[in-house]
């Protein structure tokens, strides 16, 4: 009997024991609170930034800052890779200062916290930008790269680089609207116009370039900005241009000090593909077919050789001033026709004279080309040229093929041409109107009414005033 009672009590205690364990395990536990983070920006310097951080319900916290365009990290990444802060002290708010930042750069600050195994679903974010030490910090939205080719005195190629955040005429390189502009004449390693490029490296401003990886100072490279009086420019005192290249993609940073005597800094930046323009002959060429109707004519008959005279014919639809200089937008078509010295009616069809330097042939014309004459590039022969609103020559097309039909009747000159340039584009020109042709075979001075200002290679500007600034 006692044995039976003992077994019964043992079984009952065992049941009670198991029942008690199950009741304890099923009791719900209190989850940890998700941390809260509050961020307040305090002060931004050239290379520093301070902020106040308050953390609630956390036993660990950390911060991480990245440039604004970088991918946002997770809360776990911030806690694993970031700089840890005292979460207990941060409960009442603490101040943190970041140092060693870059000037004028946009960043994002990420702060994350955890409470035991409970981690914030995502970090708290505070964007900030460091102060700029630059008078102007130009992210180039209008970029030009003009390739002038080899400069034998330097032993490298000259490239004109323009970094601008305003409107910029791609033919004249003149800016418009509000903004800033950095012009840089850079000597890079020797290449050729079929492989135009800027070599990677650091380029240094010098007064007189003598080797590649130098930037021409003096009266060449300059900084310009828009003021109430229009665009003004000033030269550089010192500076460097850093070029990085990956295939056709460039990252360029120009850090320059302008010559105002105050050590004022400017910076220009460009990232992307550089589209180089070939200016080895001093001019931008037409990149499409052209069709122009001319409204005026002027020219002269000049002595040629024993076979033919040179009929210099200039047709135009641009504005001229009282002295005959081009002062407005439009086009000019020039041609040199070779016609029989004993002839009077020069009507006919003219074809290109491929060997004109060895003698003139009747009913031919001189193809277009460019000469370098006492510091100036000048087109000659047969060509079409375009001018801007100020009478500056901005583009040309050198004619090398095609026919020019000419007829003259009762003082009315008719000219029509369907021509091809050395770049493979078609030029169609026409004129019908009064003939203004003077016989210059017995004279030495031309009376032609149209005067063309030659295009100069980059050269000196007007003298600067006391501040160093001058009109662009």
Rounded to an integer, the average pLDDT of 177-190 is 97
Percent of the chain residues topping a pLDDT of 90? 74
Cβ proximity of 269 and 138 under 8 Å: yes
Going by C-alpha positions, the residue among 174, 198, 373, 391 that lies closest to residue 281 is 373
pLDDT in tens, 424-458: 999 999 999 999 988 888 764 444 456 554 444 44
Rounded to an integer, the average pLDDT of 229-247 is 95
| 318: pLDDT strictly greater than 70 | yes
| 13: pLDDT strictly greater than 50 | no
Q: What tokens appear for 96 in the block?
A: 């943190």
pLDDT in tens, 353-393: 999 999 999 999 999 999 987 778 899 999 999 999 888 89
pLDDT in tens, 196-213: 999 999 999 999 999 999
Average pLDDT, the chain: 88
Q: What is the phi-psi region of residue 152: left when phi exceeds 0, alpha when psi lies from -120 to 50, beta otherwise?
A: alpha
pLDDT score, position 15: 41
pLDDT in tens, 240-266: 999 999 999 999 999 999 999 999 999
Rounded to an integer, the average pLDDT of 51-61 is 96
Cβ proximity of 130 and 105 under 8 Å: yes
Going by C-alpha positions, the residue among 289, 404, 423 that lies closest to residue 348 is 404
What distance in Å separates the CA atoms of residue 50 and residue 367, rounded to the nearest whole number?
Answer: 69
pLDDT score, position 443: 61
Q: Which residue has the tokens 């700029």?
A: 132
pLDDT in tens, 403-428: 999 999 988 999 999 999 999 999 99
Q: Does pTM surpass 0.75?
A: no
């Amino acid at each position: 009997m006692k044995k039976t009672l003992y077994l019964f009590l043992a079984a009952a205690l065992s049941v009670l024991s198991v029942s008690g364990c199950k009741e304890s395990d099923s009791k719900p536990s209190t989850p940890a609170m998700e941390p809260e983070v509050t961020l307040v920006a305090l002060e931004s310097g050239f290379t520093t930034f301070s902020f106040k951080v308050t953390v609630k319900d956390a036993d660990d916290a950390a911060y991480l800052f990245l440039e604004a365009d970088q991918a946002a990290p997770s809360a776990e990444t911030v806690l694993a890779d970031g700089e840890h802060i005292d979460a207990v002290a941060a409960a009442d708010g603490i101040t943190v200062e970041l140092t060693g930042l870059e000037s004028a750069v946009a960043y994002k600050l990420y702060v994350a916290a955890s409470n035991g195994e409970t981690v914030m679903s995502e970090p708290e974010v505070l964007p900030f930008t460091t102060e700029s030490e630059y008078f102007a910090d130009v992210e180039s939205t209008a970029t030009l790269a003009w390739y002038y080719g080899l400069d034998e005195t330097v032993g490298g190629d000259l490239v004109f680089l323009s970094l601008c955040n305003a409107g910029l005429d791609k033919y004249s390189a003149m800016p418009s609207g509000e903004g800033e502009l950095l012009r840089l004449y850079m000597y890079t390693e020797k290449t050729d116009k079929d492989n135009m490029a800027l070599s990677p490296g650091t380029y240094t401003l010098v007064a007189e370039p003598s080797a590649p990886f130098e930037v021409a100072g003096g009266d060449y490279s300059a900084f310009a900005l828009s003021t109430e009086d229009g665009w003004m420019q000033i030269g550089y005192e010192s500076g460097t241009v850093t070029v990085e290249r990956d295939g056709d993609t460039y990252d360029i940073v120009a850090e320059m000090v302008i010559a105002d005597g105050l050590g004022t800094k400017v910076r220009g930046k460009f990232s992307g593909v550089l589209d180089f323009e070939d200016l080895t002959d001093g001019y931008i060429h037409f990149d499409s077919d052209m069709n122009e109707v001319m409204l005026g004519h002027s020219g002269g008959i000049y002595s040629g050789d024993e076979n033919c005279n040179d009929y210099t014919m200039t047709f135009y639809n641009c504005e001229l001033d009282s002295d005959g200089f081009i002062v407005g937008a439009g086009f000019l078509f020039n041609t040199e026709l070779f016609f029989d010295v004993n002839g009077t009616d020069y009507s006919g069809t003219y074809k290109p004279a491929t060997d004109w330097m060895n003698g003139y042939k009747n009913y031919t014309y001189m193809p277009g080309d460019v000469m370098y004459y006492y510091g100036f590039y000048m087109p000659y022969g047969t060509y079409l040229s375009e001018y801007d609103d100020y009478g500056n020559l901005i583009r040309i097309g050198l004619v090398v093929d095609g026919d020019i039909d000419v007829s003259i009747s009762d003082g009315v000159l008719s000219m029509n041409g369907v021509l091809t340039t050395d770049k493979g584009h078609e030029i169609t020109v026409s004129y019908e109107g009064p003939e203004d042709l003077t016989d210059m075979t017995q004279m030495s001075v031309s009376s032609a009414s149209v005067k063309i200002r030659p295009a100069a290679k980059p050269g000196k500007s007007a003298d600067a005033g006391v501040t160093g600034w001058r009109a662009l």
